[in-house]
Amino acid sequence: MSLPNCNPIKNTFFLTLLFVSLLSCKSDSNVGGLALYTVRDAMAENPKTTLEKVAAAGYDYIEAAGYADGAYYNMSPEDFKAYAKSLGLETISTHQSSITLSNADQQLADAKAAGFEYFVVPIPPMGLFHYDDATNTMSMTGGVENLANILDELGEKAFAAGLKLLYHNHDFEFKKDADGIIPIDYLLENCNPKYVNFQMDLFWVTKAGANPLAYFEKYPGRFKIWHVKDMGKDGKFAPVGKGTIDFSKILAKKEQAGMRYYMVEQDQTFDLDPLEAIKISHTGIKGFGFD
């Protein structure tokens, strides 16, 4: 494209207008983040093509859920970061359930090299998490005090590595354990906020019968990332905007919550192709006012 004239001042003005226009177009169409767990099968089969489709669906940033053997989706941390960046995708957070106190230094270094800001512990680590296939329920062993101590230690390591540690909830953390303790409350009250904060999964909070707004009010500033995940009338996962959760009411309290990013996620899309589901959810989040 040729510039309209050769006057350097006018050319600079023209280029500035063009740049602002391009930014405006991007902000109108690209919003929010995607948890790549939603498209995990496609990421396992062809990660680069899938990331291209995620960017084309209108997402600005991503959360990984595919770390193994020092690589993200079979790419080195540096290559994964570079490829995402080439598509206009920012690497914000990563779920790494395999972290332990002994391998933390390496995992955190890899996450930092991949450009992530947040390191998310998605379940109680180090063998503490249990899933019962027969009842489709989740639980943990070892006690919540033990979990809090592990998270604090991991959080200190993350801080030293230049990362921020978050713990991601499911529904069982909102239910009293054998000792009559509500695990999420214990973690919020006992983990050091300098080192440990939280990623609130809005579906699982709702599934547990808890109120996100009550948690924002009681523990302001602790919920740095949200998983925006809708629930159908049947209680199952649904694309954002096709379910029953009033995200607009929750979004109105984002500052109180401390939310800095949100990630669209749908654990199961059933008869709907995940890559189609993320397009529906992208339209849905804009309808609720997310940007």
At a CB cut-off of 8 Å and minimum separation 6, what does 95 contact?
35, 37, 63, 64, 65, 67, 120, 122, 168
The confidence score (pLDDT) of residue 210 equals 98
Among 235, 83, 101, which residue's Cα sits nearest to residue 156?
101
Q: Does domain 31-288 have CATH number 3.60.15.10?
A: no
- pLDDT number for residue 31: 84
What pLDDT does residue 30 have? 72
Q: Are 30 and 88 in contact (CB under 8 A)?
A: yes
Q: What is the pLDDT of residue 8?
A: 47
Which pLDDT belongs to residue 137? 96
Secondary structure (DSSP) of 100-153 = -TTTHHHHHHHHHHTT-SEEEE-S-TTTTEEEETTTTEEEE-S-HHHHHHHHHH
What single letter denotes the amino acid at residue 5?
A: N
Q: What is the pTM of this model?
A: 0.90
C-alpha to C-alpha distance for 230 and 240, rounded to whole angstroms: 5
> What does the pLDDT look like over 253-264, one tens digit per residue?
999 999 999 999
Phi-psi sector, 221: left (phi>0), alpha (psi -120 to 50), beta: left
Which H or E run contains 34? strand 33-35
Q: Report d(CA 104, CA 233) in Å as an integer.
A: 40
Q: What is the pLDDT of residue 26?
A: 41
Tokens, residue 67: 């770390």
Q: pLDDT tens, position by position, for the chain (291 residues)?
A: 433 444 544 444 444 444 334 333 443 457 899 999 999 999 999 999 999 999 999 999 999 999 999 999 999 999 999 999 999 999 999 999 999 999 999 999 999 999 999 999 999 999 999 999 999 999 999 999 999 999 999 999 999 999 999 999 999 999 999 999 999 999 999 999 999 999 999 999 999 999 999 999 999 999 999 999 999 999 999 999 999 999 999 999 999 999 999 999 999 999 999 999 999 999 999 999 998
What's the pLDDT at 5?
Answer: 46
C-alpha–C-alpha distance, residues 125 and 137, integer Å: 17
CA-to-CA separations, 11 to 16, 17, 21, in angstroms, rounded: 9, 10, 15
Handedness of CA 28, 33, 39, 44 (dihedral sign): positive
Domain limits, the chain: 1-28, 31-288
